[in-house]
Amino acid sequence: MNFAYLPFFTFTDPYSLTVTQLLLTKKPFPPLLHLLDHQDEEIISYALLFIINLIKAGTESTPLTSQHPHFVEISTIGGIVIIFEQFSGNLNDKTNDFSKFDFARIMQLGIRNNFLEEFGEQEEEEQVYDPNQRTESIKDRTAVLIGNLFRAQEITNTEQRSGVIQHLKSLVNNREDWIRTESRKALKCLAQNPVNRTEIENDGFTIPE
């Protein structure tokens, strides 16, 4: 694992609404989107995870039927184009093992605790970390990101809409908890728009609870 970007990762995973809202005040999207042009696929994969965890704060703090609060900001700086390019460029991407970093995890816990103490917050009970649990690919993460950002609004490009939705539908019964849960949430976001919903349901598909 490349440790150069570990400090930011420590603040975004595991996801915390409190920490994420604090990070959003620092305008993190431009540098993170820039990382999606990196030559190292591991860095791209983690950058996508960082962005997903950040936009989850907007997804979870606003009504499901409303457009995503960070869409305009990300679109204005060219982020939507960059994200779709990543999805299109990884159409043959295979699910790969989530990197194992026991030493990094130890560092992460210490950094997060110091950060939370500084802002007078208390970390929730620590979850047991299983490095083998996460196996989603770049394509998986990009599809989840697009699904969240296009909440309650149409993906106007027909090919892109079909590609993203079909991929998300293929993940809803995945054996891995994170991608199974997040793909369902992403589809529910997209389904708030009637055009997207028609695409989702065109083969009799129903989004699982």
Q: For 4-58, write each residue's pLDDT tens digit.
A: 555 555 666 666 777 777 888 889 899 999 999 888 888 888 889 889 988 988 8
Average pLDDT over residues 50-75: 93
Categorize the per-residue pLDDT at 96 as very low, low, confident or very high, splitting at 50, 70 and 90: very low
pLDDT above 80: residue 79? yes
120 assigned to some structural domain: no
Q: Which amino acid is at 126?
A: E
The number of distinct structural domains making up the chain is: 1
In the prediction, which pLDDT does 93 show?
63
Q: Which residues of 179-205 are buried (b: 16+ CB within 10 A; e: fewer)?
A: beebbbbbbbbbbbbeebbebbeeeee
Q: What is the distance between the alpha carbons of residues 148 and 60, in angstroms, rounded to a whole number?
A: 10
CATH number for the domain that contains residue 72 = 1.25.10
Query: How many Cα atoms are found within 13 Å in the side-chain-facing hemisphere of 161?
Result: 20
Question: Peptide bond before 14: cis, by omega within 30 degrees of 0?
Answer: yes
Domain membership of residue 89 (yes or no) is yes
Range of the domain at 59: 3-102+131-201
Residue 111 lies in a domain: no
Assigned domain for 162 exists:
yes
Contact 148, 131 (CB under 8 A): no
Give the confidence band of 118 by pLDDT, cuts at 50, 70, 90.
low
19: in domain: yes
Report the alpha-carbon distance of residue 51 to residue 203 in Å, rounded: 31
Q: Please state, in angstroms and rounded to a whole number, the distance separating the CA atoms of residues 131 and 121.
A: 26
Does residue 147 sit within a domain? yes
Amino acid at position 16, single letter: S
In a domain, 183, yes or no: yes
Within a domain: residue 110? no
| Dihedral pair phi/psi, residue 201, rounded to 5° | -95, 5
